[in-house]
Structure 1
Amino acid sequence: MPRITPCSRRWRRTAALFVLAAAVLLVPAAARAGEVHVAVAANFTAAAKEIAALYEAASGDRAVLSFGSTGQLYTQIDQGAPFEVFLAADRERPRRAVEEGLAEPDSLVTYATGRIVLYSRDPGRVTGETALRQGGSGKLAIANPATAPYGAAAVEAMQALGVYGALESRLVRGNSIAQTYQFVDSGSADLGFVALSQVIGHHRGSRWVVPFRLYAPIAQDAVLLNAGRDNPAAAGFLRFLQGPEARAVKEKYGYGAAD
């Protein structure tokens, strides 16, 4: 039986470490890819999922997406949630994140402009603004205007039409634009103001794309948060969001060009 000396033990350990290092170098890049945690406004759900898949295919980095209303997401960020990129449905919260030292000042970018739609699952229900002037006791769904920019835009449009006072008692408020859409699509509400991106891909029901003369276009900003400052995957995702592949996805879902 060969005698094992301290020298031979050291040699074996060195050889084992060399083999391990070589194995790590041989691991495909995708297996060692980075990861970025992204807080995404609910209106951008479908588009963000497609963009994240394209980003992973292009870079090997994985985008982990969390969805909610802009106000809810901002509260989580302010309370220390480990998000690295914030895709809001307004300009206010990303700018506030910068002002409060939660985000990188030079990273602010407007990535899309959104629109609201009056929607019903009833094919003959919505033919224009007259759907808001008809009597009845049916519910009208909007996103909570205090936390969701799309809800604030809905209130602005109703006020511009002079119907908000008459409709206020019929309003049901979703926590996010995603929940608002569910209220309408499930029949819990007869009508609802939803995001164009939520209905542009299907032909169910009826809809009216609310003209910009009734509300300010919904400019949506993104920002690199402090948690993503040293993560190349976070900066990479933000760059990709502004590129041609992401732009095509945004146009597909009815988003206007960034200002």
Structure 2
Amino acid sequence: MLAGALACGAWLSAWADEVQVAVAANFAAPMQKLAAEFEKTSGHKVMLVSGSTGKFYAQIKNGAPFEVLLAADDETPAKLVAEGAAQPGTQFTYAIGKLVLWSAQPGLVDEQGAVLKRADLHHLAIANPKLAPYGAAGVEALKKLGLLDAWQARFVQGENISQTYQFVASGNAELGFVALSQVWRDGKITAGSAWVVPTANYEPIRQDAVLLNPGAGRPAAQALLKFLKGDAAKAVILSYGYAL
């Protein structure tokens, strides 16, 4: 019996694999939860690095050994496929992100976003629109509202959406554009006050996954992408305020 158990353990050890994942900062929290569930059910290990999609693109092009990219847009994965850095036919949308105007102060942000018309507020946090799709969406929303010129000099710019969130959470900015997933759990805002920006004010934030070349032929990388398409993963993604 012991010999059989040891043989089974050796087989599982040989089968188990590790996957290197680059994940957009807005999806870091749900991905940590998903990774734990994936590890439990698959036996594989997940190594996560979170950051801005724009920076990941540059790192991948420079030879970073990521096997899976979970981007904050659909353009970067498509570009990597077109440029031969990712595997054709593996790109898919794992989530559709939502933009929210958020403040750590209860009652500051109203449900119509009229707070953006106030001239007495000093700072609006926003992710670098050249690197972060949520930052680009925030700029687009301000343009649609005719308020970009009024706010541009008051921007506090984060390198990615996680840093942008921290600017607001710490009070260094009274309000900011962040991902709904950062302040939403199971149908409600977790703290402060917020306005979920109508999707008509910005292009849909389609967040795509893709298998990068180092992940080709790697069991864990392929298994993770399959897991993200399953019902259990979708339930977690929805609970963080994303659409599918």
Instruction: Classify the TM-score, shorter chain.
Output: over 0.9
| Post-superposition offset of 1:129 | 1.8
Match of 1:58 among 29, 34, 41: 41
For 1:10-89, list aligned pairs within 5 A: 25-27=7-9, 31-32=13-14, 33-89=16-72
Question: Contact between 1:70 and 1:147, CA under 8 Å: does it hold in 2?
Answer: yes
Which range moves more in the overlay, 31-40 or 160-169?
31-40
| Post-superposition offset of 1:31 | 4.0
For 1:206-217, list aligned pairs within 5 A: 206-217=193-204
For 1:108-187, list aligned pairs within 5 A: 108-127=91-110, 128-187=112-171
Which range moves more in the overlay, 105-114 or 194-203?
194-203
| Post-superposition offset of 1:215 | 0.8
| Post-superposition offset of 1:26 | 4.3
1:210-259 CA distance string (max 9 Å, x none): 001111120011100000001011011001011101000000001101xx
Question: Contact between 1:29 and 1:60, CA under 8 Å: does it hold in 2?
Answer: no
1:5-46 CA distance string (max 9 Å, x none): xxxxxxxxxxxxxxxx99973435554411100100000011
**Structure-2 residue corresponding to 1:238:** 225
Q: Which amino acid aligns with 1:242?
A: K
| 1:251 partnered with 2:233 | no
Q: Which amino acid aligns with 1:174?
A: G
Question: Contact between 2:34 and 2:233, CA under 8 Å: does it hold in 1?
Answer: yes
Question: Contact between 1:30 and 1:61, CA under 8 Å: does it hold in 2?
Answer: no
Identity of aligned residues (%): 52
- Taking a change above 3 Å as real, the CA distance of residues 174 and 29 of structure 1, as seen in their structure-2 partners, is farther
| Post-superposition offset of 1:161 | 0.2
TM-score, normalised relative to structure 1? 0.88
Classify the secondary structure of the residue corresponding to 1:64. Answer: strand
Within 1, Cα distance between the matches of 2:213 and 2:234? Answer: 25
- In our comparison, the structure showing a higher alpha carbon Rg is 1
Within 1, Cα distance between the matches of 2:58 and 2:139? Answer: 22
**What is the number of residues matched between the two proteins?**
237
**Structure-2 residue corresponding to 1:190:** 174
Segments of structure 1 that go 5 or more residues without pairing to the other structure are 1-20
Q: Which amino acid aligns with 1:70?
A: T
Question: Contact between 2:121 and 2:174, CA under 8 Å: does it hold in 1?
Answer: no
Question: Contact between 1:90 and 1:218, CA under 8 Å: does it hold in 2?
Answer: yes
Within 2, Cα distance between the matches of 1:61 and 1:120? Answer: 38
Classify the secondary structure of the residue corresponding to 1:105. Answer: coil
1:158-196 CA distance string (max 9 Å, x none): 000000011000001100000000000000101100000
Q: Which amino acid aligns with 2:177?
A: F
**Structure-2 residue corresponding to 1:199:** 183
**Structure-1 residue corresponding to 2:84:** 101
1:46-104 CA distance string (max 9 Å, x none): 11011111111111111111100000111111110000000000011000100110000
**Structure-2 residue corresponding to 1:224:** 211
RMSD: 1.6
